[in-house]
A and B are shown apart, each in its own frame.
Chain A
Amino acid sequence: MTRETYINAALSLLLVLVPFWAWSTGQAYILTLCTKVAILALAGVGLNIALGLGGLVSFGHAAFFGIGGYAMGILASHAQTFDPIMDWPILIEGTKSMPMIWLVAMLASALAALLIGALSLRTSGVYFIMITLAFAQMLYYFTIGWPAYGGEDGLSIYVRNSFPGLNTLVPVQFLILSYVILGLALLFSARLARAPFGLALSAARQNADRVETVGIAPYRLRLVAFVISGAITGLAGALFADLNRFISPTMFSWHTSGEIMIFVILGGVGRLYGPVAGAALFILLEHLLGGVSDYWKIFLGALLLAVVLFARGGLIGTLAGREVAHG
């Protein structure tokens, strides 16, 4: 077992022990925080597939986060008011069933990623960064001007959506649900990285010429990676909306895109548990430092700067050293 695997195991243990302690001492607030960590980590896991494995610097992943969130908001709000989304040509009603919502969120995000990716991946470098940002901005302004779902003020979904067999309003139950989803995503991500697709995608990140010369088209690899990445981040968006029972255009803002990137970088870009470590670190800072000073983001900025300049591997990279767990 490599050092990285030990670190991953330690992180997993921590993520289970902390909520267990919180649950047994009745601190629902901490349970909610842990849920938040899991959901934000999920968003990062999605981005990491495009960014860490594929080397695609997408500064517009908030687009998918927001689409997932708004999928939930639209479906749930219509279900709550018993008002169908569409009457004609086919009847589409809302739903408050989480599995259904997640399916729609993932499909919608995947479709958006397919469209955005197909166009954006024709560019590279700084143009790619800007065009992914642009698409997210388009959606941001679009939702601001969409009064039906709250516009700039956003929309509250007062009742948490339902999952068969669970009472999702109970913090520990929603926590376990989020953890399971994160776990599945991590498993999928690990498998993907070791599979033929992962090898080729990683090779394309390191040297696109090499990949072409062995008869593999980098564009197709990257597009598929982008779609998968968008779908996972979209799922995170739907869960986040459910956690807060609120959707708003800020889910699409470039600050959100930046923050998802921060989770991935702080934890270690390309590392399996990078997003998990990064999200945990971020939430920890937000709540420890945020309690001390209203200006905690200065420290976040300084930390991010330090990591980028001096500790590129992020938390896991620094602890685990050069070894990479797969390959």
Chain B
Amino acid sequence: MTFLLFAEQMLNGLQFGIMLFLMAAGLTLVFGVMGLINLAHGSLYMIGAFAAAVVAGATGSFTLALIASLAAAAAAGALIELTVIRRLYKRDHLDQVLATFALILILSEGTRWVFGSFPLYLDVPSYLSGPVTLPGGIQYPLYRLFIIGAGLLLAVGLFALIARTRIGIQIRAGEADREMIAALGVDISRLYTLVFALGAALAGLAGALVGAIQSVQVGMGEPVLILAFVVIVIGGIGSIKGALVGALLVGMTDTMGGVLLPRVFALLMDPSAATTVGASLGSMLIYILMAVVLIMRPSGLYGST
């Protein structure tokens, strides 16, 4: 494998990892602060992507599309939180899993009812398309670099929010002791809705950004959701840092595994079989990684017991 191909795949892994982080951050915040497992997070990713596609189609502006994705996902998140999610905080995990699974059914089929089963298209805007030459002679799509950049910026922003703002303090306190912050007079309901909407917005944006590279269709959020859960389990539930480390780990493993394993297998069997087996094993690799991490560190890399 050439250096150029390797570097390109590394960057792809990075980009995938950053997108996973955007998904995982919301998920881990919601679990850390509210103690809630939310399977419907993938649907918020989908809603963001659809909102972006619709707005881009109507206005032709990618910027407006991204803003729409944030707004739509945040609004959807707030709505879901106010109507359904807040009834689940006191329930056990089984109820949360089932209720949010029910939400997936409603949101997915609902979206299919409104938009149909065929994918929508979201185009990369012309000012972001085309390759860029990086040091080392690597040719890499500008848009993917944009995604990496935007994701890193958001990560920094999120860390700053958690570490330096009043909301951030409330969030960190909420993660440590839910009852205490209520006793201290923090408006819990508002905080929870805010955290949920924030997580939703991040997911929606991720959906929109990725929607331009892949397609925008019902169910697009589900594979990402599962991976996001793997990420937060590896990273440690409730830890944003863990989400970042976990996301990069998973993103890299998945991408590099998918690229390297078929080549390894090609040494042992014919090329087409090698691709299928390799790709499939590549997908398995992440789960094997998660199982190994859990067995060695049952609370994940940065989680608290």
Contacts and interface: CB of A to CB of B under 8 A. Distances in A.
A300 B37 CA distance: 20
Nearest to A309: B87
From A135, A138, A261, A300, name the one whose CB has the most chain B CB atoms within 10 angstroms: A138
Nearest to A136: B287
A51 B102 CA distance: 18
A142 B280 contact: yes
B226 A133 contact: yes
B280 A131 contact: no
Interface string B87-110: 100010111011101111110111
Contact of A151 (B94, B113, B276, B278): B276
A119 B291 contact: yes
B93 A126 contact: yes
B139 interface: no
6 contacts: A57-B97, A133-B229, A261-B98, A297-B108, A298-B109, A298-B110
B210 interface: no
A229 B125 CA distance: 53
B23 interface: no
User: Per DSSP, are chain A's interface residues mostly helix, strand or loop, or mixed?
Assistant: helix
A133 B294 CA distance: 13
A105 to B, nearest CB: 22
Interface in B127-166: none
Nearest to B278: A145
From A59, A131, A261, A308, name the one whose CB has the most chain B CB atoms within 10 angstroms: A308
Interface residues of B, number: 45
Contacts of B299: 127
B287 A302 contact: no
Interface of B: 31, 37, 84, 87, 91, 93-95, 97-99, 101-106, 108-110, 112-113, 226, 229-230, 233, 237, 273, 276-281, 283-284, 287-288, 290-291, 294-295, 298-300
A137 interface: yes
Nearest to B300: A127
A265 B226 contact: no
Nearest to A137: B287
A305 interface: yes
B105 A301 contact: yes
A130 interface: yes
A304 interface: yes
B97 A59 contact: yes
Contact of A131 (B279, B284, B290): B290
Contacts of A308: 91, 95, 98-99, 102
B290 A265 contact: no
B80 to A, nearest CB: 11
A79 interface: no
A185 interface: no
B102 A134 contact: no
Contacts of A123: 294, 298
A312 B95 CA distance: 9
A51 B226 CA distance: 21
Contacts of B87: 309
Contacts of A301: 102-106, 109
A99 interface: no
A261 B105 CA distance: 14
B270 to A, nearest CB: 11
Given A129-B37, A129-B93, A141 B283 contact: yes
